[in-house]
Chain A
Amino acid sequence: MSKEAELEGVKQSVVSGAYKAFVGVWMTGVILAAFLYSPEIANLKGTQIVYFHVPCAWLASLAFLGSGIYAVLYLRRQNLELDVKSASAAELGLLFCVLATVTGAVFSKANWGMAWNWDPRQTTIAALLLMYLAYFALRSALVGAEKRAAISGVYAVAACVVMPFLVFVLPRAFESLHPTVVRRGGMDPEIAVVLAASTLGFTAFGVWIFRLRVALGSIALSRMEEPL
């Protein structure tokens, strides 16, 4: 390997190592702050979980959007790398969706005695979860890389179009137990700071996993036999 390439390689591993270390330290700080620094919210119990539940839900939606955008790009450019990105984003979204659902259920149980009561926001996250699972079920039922990419991509876009109905329209049309203090202004600065920090940290973490997953997917793609 040439000197320049070696230097590049070392630089890249230093940068990524620093990134990971930084995210690690950042999230440790967030966790400590969640338990030691920030106050209780609105007489609810176990509100520390909010600092993990909210970013997970946020990331689940973001990943969804990302999956849809990559799908549109694939449909326009027919580049399978874009399909790898779309599927990887969906995988990530599924993970965070599960986490958001579970943390939400735990919080619900602790405060209102029931883990699940089809509250509009719970319905939303459940529907999101089902959409992700449906997406992967569809992928596994399609044979052929281009076919799989195109058709599951179309579904991903449709799911993205339905998402605003789930996330914005439904909870506003119906009453919800979900804490609304998060929606309006008037949040204590301590809470806001830790929440923002947690969201940032989670996003950085998510991006890191996404890039790893995409790299894996790209390698698998290039390994596919090309007889011609």
Chain B
Amino acid sequence: MANSSSTWADGCWAVLRKDIQSEFRTRYAFNAVVVFAITTLAVVSYSAQVVGAGSRLLSPLLWIIILFSAMSGLSRTFVREEDAGTANTLRLVAEPTAVYVGKLLFNTALLAVLDVLIVPLFLVLMDVSVGNLFLFVVILITGSASIAATATFVAAIVSKASVRSALFAVLSFPLLVPVLVAAVQGTEASLRGASIPEGMPFVRILTAFAGAMVAVGLLLFEHVWNEA
């Protein structure tokens, strides 16, 4: 009989694998997220005034694209299970935190894939030169992790309610205000070419936030998951 912690880790991995397999075969969330991002990017770059604009405008623009793409797709991992009825099946076999971590990893991976696709495209289309690339990437990673953690948590909540998509954005956005402020300012600093010590406060805020959100999710998920 495997000991409980390795079973738990196996469980997380199994849920993640399952979500990835499902996603590969149905492209349910991936399509929503990527199509939204590319469309927004195309529309925005079409406007001549934005291309080559300073970091003060381009930084928020980047995060708007990432945020709203996340809002359009990261709720599906939970909502789909509830709608299809497979959530009850999972409730019968899986430990709740294993489900949560598996889906958290899935959403993080999804957002990471989006970042890898969209950010270089953004930099090229908007003709942006990145002053401090290392800082830029670190802010991107910690900011995206914070968004993914928050979105997963809210997705679990929203999957139990009636009006899903509107509620998802309404609940996520206030929680994400600190993330957006720190990420936008941090990205702007990195585009400007700020040094790493200058950018550290933002990195610290984002890392702390991501950690706090993951912890809160782990502690509270069971209460949401087990509600009929």
A residues with a Cβ closer than 8 A to B are 75, 120, 123, 126-128, 130-131, 133-134, 137-138, 141-144, 146-147, 150-151, 153-155, 157-159, 161-162, 165-166, 169-170, 173-174
> With the chains together, A221 CA to B157 CA distance in Å?
24
A130 to B173, Cβ gap below 8 A? yes
A159 to B175, Cβ gap below 8 A? yes
A137 to B167, Cβ gap below 8 A? yes
Q: A130-B173, A158-B175 are in contact. List 20 more A-B contacts (CB 8 A).
A: A123-B181, A131-B175, A133-B170, A134-B174, A137-B167, A141-B163, A144-B228, A147-B160, A147-B228, A151-B223, A151-B224, A154-B224, A157-B220, A162-B175, A165-B212, A166-B177, A169-B178, A169-B205, A170-B205, A173-B182
> With the chains together, A153 CA to B224 CA distance in Å?
10
Interface of A is mostly: helix
> With the chains together, A126 CA to B205 CA distance in Å?
19
B residues with a Cβ closer than 8 A to A are 153, 157, 160-163, 167, 170-171, 173-175, 177-178, 181-182, 185, 201-202, 205, 208-209, 212-213, 216, 220, 223-224, 227-228
Q: Compute the total of residue contacts between A and B using a CB distance below 8 Å.
A: 93
> With the chains together, A162 CA to B181 CA distance in Å?
13
A173 to B161, Cβ gap below 8 A? no
> With the chains together, A21 CA to B50 CA distance in Å?
61
A-B contact pairs, 20 of them (CB 8 A): A127-B174, A131-B174, A134-B174, A141-B161, A141-B163, A142-B160, A147-B227, A150-B224, A151-B224, A154-B157, A154-B224, A158-B175, A158-B216, A161-B212, A162-B174, A162-B212, A165-B205, A165-B208, A166-B177, A174-B185
B182 to A154, Cβ gap below 8 A? no
B185 / chain A contacts, CB cutoff of 8 Å:
174
For residue B57, give the distance in angstroms from its CB to the closest CB of chain A: 15
> With the chains together, A138 CA to B160 CA distance in Å?
10
> With the chains together, A146 CA to B227 CA distance in Å?
8
> With the chains together, A162 CA to B213 CA distance in Å?
8
Q: Which of B171, B201, B209 touches A173 (beta carbons < 8 Å)?
A: B201
> With the chains together, A154 CA to B227 CA distance in Å?
12
> With the chains together, A113 CA to B209 CA distance in Å?
34
> With the chains together, A154 CA to B161 CA distance in Å?
13
> With the chains together, A170 CA to B205 CA distance in Å?
9
> With the chains together, A150 CA to B201 CA distance in Å?
35
Given A158-B153, A161-B212: A150 touches B227 (CB 8 Å cut-off): yes
> With the chains together, A137 CA to B163 CA distance in Å?
10
